[in-house]
Structure 1
Amino acid sequence: MHQHRARKRFGQNFLHDAGVIHRILRAIHAREDDRLLEIGPGQGALTEGLLASGAQLDVIELDLDLIPILQARFGDNPRFRLNQGDALKFDFARLQAAPGSLRVVGNLPYNISTPLIFHLLDNAALIRDMHFMLQKEVVERLAAEPGSGDWGRLSIMVQYHCRVEYLFNVGPGAFNPAPKVDSAIVRLVPHAQLPHPARDHRLLERVVREAFNQRRKTLRNTLKGLLDSEAIAAAGVDGSLRPEQLDLAAFVRLADQLALQPQSPA
């Protein structure tokens, strides 16, 4: 079988460390009646173990050169289905998964990890849990707490939808080629009931984006295009604070205040 060279433009780093693969599979703990979706299976390092669980597995792979390799390795398995395409544009409804049933797995290239997580959150109603290998800094941001330098738009919007569990770190030597950064495994579990539901989560996204556009400035300054000082105070928030000092509940109150404004700008 010809060797596939990892490609820079797809941000490919293939996982080859058997100990790390086993540890990830143990964390996922797939069962026979699971519906699994693997994003970017690469050469199938995790795919093999996921299929060994007896679960139904869909994979999404963008790199056309990998399709015949995956097809040759797993194509005979009736529980394996290969979808060629871009996960960022993938219509998850195509999988016809029951609500809350889909278990998503992926070793995500750094350049698409954030937009892909947001795309998956749009489909959170279908998803039971997600296990991702990401750059360690991204996992630190996902799991961050208010008041820390890592707390920002990604932390807030992901924690709005999911419980975040930082599982373990993975060094560069587990991959080929070895990346220049450390990686980590994270588990995201969509909340059955949102802990702080917003009237309109798109307004929450706007408030959070504006607030963190200039994270060194006070909320009174960064939000002045959306909410004046009175409106910020009416949400029970101190306008002299910086955005990283606010928790998720406070951002939801600001977004709900924006929803009450006479004409909230488009």
Structure 2
Amino acid sequence: MRKHIPLKKFSQNFLIDSSIVKKIVEFINPQLNEILVEIGPGLAALTRPVCNLIDELIVIEIDKYLLERLKKCSFYSKLIIFYQDAVKFNYLKLFNKKDRLIRVFGNLPYHVATSLILNLFKNIKIIKDMNFMLQKEVAERLVALPGSKSYGRLSIIAQYYCNIKILLDVSPKCFRPVPKVDSIFLNLTPYTNFYPYFTHNVKVLSYITNLAFQKRRKILKNSLGKLFSEKVLTTLNINPQERPENISILQYCQLSNYIIENNIYCKSISI
């Protein structure tokens, strides 16, 4: 089979370490009755061993040359292929067709990882879990706690929806071409029975966190001043002098709920 030249526009770094592949497949633990969706099968490093364990795998790939390679693979008959951008893919339509929760996994292209994950959160009720290889910086942002440099809007939204576990640190030498960054494989499992956080409307939470972190060095009384007076912040036990990275997810949920409960109008929010 002709050697595939990685395309920079798709941020292609192919996983080549067989021991890492084995560990990842063990972490995913594919089962016959599950609906599994792989984003970006690439050179099929994960696709092949997963297909050895199940009868059907849905793959989403934007590189038509990689799709042509898949046609020559022995497991091709097990694949349901979508030649699409995974960020724009209709996961709800797939769920409605299969009538089962979806498990999503993949070695995500670094340039779309954040937007892809945020888009998947919009479909969180139809997702059983997500297992992704990510650039270390993105993974650290997902799991970051208040007070750290990595903590921000992505941390808050991700942890609002999911329990997140780092499963594996992966060296650049496990990929071809070798990226300039380390990677992390992690699991995101949506909360089902126990929800540690509550907001009446996650769109409001998203809006507030976006506003707060647009200029993260600003203190809250300045960054959120058009929504909350110093008196209101103090009443909610939130220090107006604090910077956004020092405010907990629970506190951001408090702010979100205050807006809803007090009918504060924000034309920028589509509620």
Output the TM-score relative to the length of structure 2: 0.93
Alpha carbons of structure 1 residues 74 and 114: separation in structure 2 relative to 1, 3 Å: farther
Please say if residues 131 and 186 of structure 1, whose CA atoms lie closer than 8 Å, have aligned partners that are also in contact: yes
**Residue correspondence of structure 1 range 230-245 to structure 2 within 5 A:** 230-245=231-246
The size of the alignment, in residue pairs, is 264
2:211 corresponds to = 210
1:21 partnered with 2:14? no
Q: CA deviation digits over 1:236-266, x for unaligned, max 9?
A: 3221211111111100001111222442333
1:84 corresponds to = 83
In structure 2, runs of 5+ residues without a counterpart are: none
1:169 corresponds to = 169
Secondary structure, aligned partner of 1:89 = coil
**Residue correspondence of structure 1 range 68-107 to structure 2 within 5 A:** 68-73=68-73, 76-77=76-77, 79-95=78-94, 96-99=97-100, 101-107=101-107
Please say if residues 30 and 55 of structure 1, whose CA atoms lie closer than 8 Å, have aligned partners that are also in contact: no
2: distance between equivalents of 1:55 and 1:120?
A: 25
2: distance between equivalents of 1:16 and 1:151?
A: 31
**Residue correspondence of structure 1 range 11-160 to structure 2 within 5 A:** 11-73=11-73, 76-77=76-77, 79-95=78-94, 96-99=97-100, 101-160=101-160
Query: Aligned AA for 2:92?
Result: A
1:185 partnered with 2:185? yes
Please say if residues 152 and 244 of structure 1, whose CA atoms lie closer than 8 Å, have aligned partners that are also in contact: yes
1:223 corresponds to = 224
In structure 1, runs of 5+ residues without a counterpart are: none
Please say if residues 135 and 181 of structure 1, whose CA atoms lie closer than 8 Å, have aligned partners that are also in contact: yes
Please say if residues 35 and 102 of structure 2, whose CA atoms lie closer than 8 Å, have aligned partners that are also in contact: yes
2:2 corresponds to = 2
2: distance between equivalents of 1:52 and 1:11?
A: 27
Q: CA deviation at 1:225?
A: 2.3
Query: Aligned AA for 1:258?
Result: I
Q: CA deviation at 1:98?
A: 3.0
Secondary structure, aligned partner of 2:147 = coil
Secondary structure, aligned partner of 2:156 = helix
Secondary structure, aligned partner of 1:42 = coil
Please say if residues 48 and 75 of structure 2, whose CA atoms lie closer than 8 Å, have aligned partners that are also in contact: no
1:199 corresponds to = 200
1:263 partnered with 2:262? no
Runs of 4+ in 1 over 3 A off after TM superposition: none
Q: CA deviation digits over 1:170-228, x for unaligned, max 9?
A: 11111110001111101000010432121111110011011111212211111012222
Of stretches 28-37 and 191-200 in structure 1, the one that deviates more from structure 2 is 191-200
2: distance between equivalents of 1:205 and 1:107?
A: 26
Q: CA deviation at 1:74?
A: 5.1
Please say if residues 160 and 196 of structure 1, whose CA atoms lie closer than 8 Å, have aligned partners that are also in contact: yes
2: distance between equivalents of 1:176 and 1:151?
A: 30
Q: CA deviation digits over 1:137-185, x for unaligned, max 9?
A: 1111111111111111111000010001011111111111000111110
Of stretches 123-132 and 67-76 in structure 1, the one that deviates more from structure 2 is 67-76
1: distance between equivalents of 2:98 and 2:186?
A: 23
1: distance between equivalents of 2:49 and 2:75?
A: 15
1: distance between equivalents of 2:63 and 2:265?
A: 46
1: distance between equivalents of 2:99 and 2:161?
A: 19
Query: Aligned AA for 2:53?
Result: S
Please say if residues 41 and 60 of structure 2, whose CA atoms lie closer than 8 Å, have aligned partners that are also in contact: yes
Query: Aligned AA for 2:219?
Result: T
Q: CA deviation digits over 1:43-81, x for unaligned, max 9?
A: 11100111111153100000111111112215642x321
